[in-house]
């Protein structure tokens, strides 16, 4: 990812699934869900900011380009390129089923990682990570 966390607890939280946290009796705030919600918003801000900086000013076009640039498939592909699934703390059932092979699961993991980067290093750090891992949105 090209980022070193100052607060390693944020990284661990970003990689901890709710099922794992429940199975281990961890603190209710020890899992990734809130970070995934935050990361989703941060990704949107970074993408919109880059589109505006590149000269796009039409609200509808910005929204369309953001939607095309950032979606479950794109985020999942980025997570797969980083082999995120090998670092996540999966619940037993999730691991047995290989939940990361379908649906939105890996995209949520990617969002959680970006949320953690944002909390640790701010919006500029999140933007640098997204650029480094290959998220590109052009007008």
Q: Positive or negative CA dihedral for 109, 20, 28, 12?
A: negative
Residue 16's SS3 state is: strand
Active site residue 111: yes
Tokens representing 117 are 């980067």
CA gap 44, 27 in Å, rounded: 29
Residue 47: name the closest of 133, 130, 110, 132 by CA: 130
Which position among 33, 94, 108, 111 bears the catalytic label? 111
Which position among 33, 40, 94, 120 bears the catalytic label? 40
Residue 139: name the closest of 70, 20, 72, 50 by CA: 50
Catalytic residue annotation: 40, 111
């Amino acid at each position: 990812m090209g980022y070193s966390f100052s607060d390693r607890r944020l990284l661990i939280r970003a990689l901890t699934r709710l099922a794992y946290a429940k199975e281990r009796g961890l603190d209710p705030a020890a899992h990734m869900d809130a970070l995934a919600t935050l990361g989703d918003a941060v990704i949107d801000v970074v993408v919109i900011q880059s589109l505006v900086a590149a000269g796009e000013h039409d609200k509808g076009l910005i929204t369309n380009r953001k939607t095309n640039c950032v979606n479950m498939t794109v985020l999942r592909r980025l997570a797969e390129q980083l082999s995120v699934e090998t670092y996540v703390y999966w619940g037993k059932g999730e691991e047995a089923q290989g939940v990361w092979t379908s649906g939105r699961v890996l995209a949520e993991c990617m969002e959680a990682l970006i949320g953690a980067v944002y909390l640790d290093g701010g919006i500029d750090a999140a933007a640098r990570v997204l650029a480094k891992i290959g998220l590109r949105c052009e007008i």
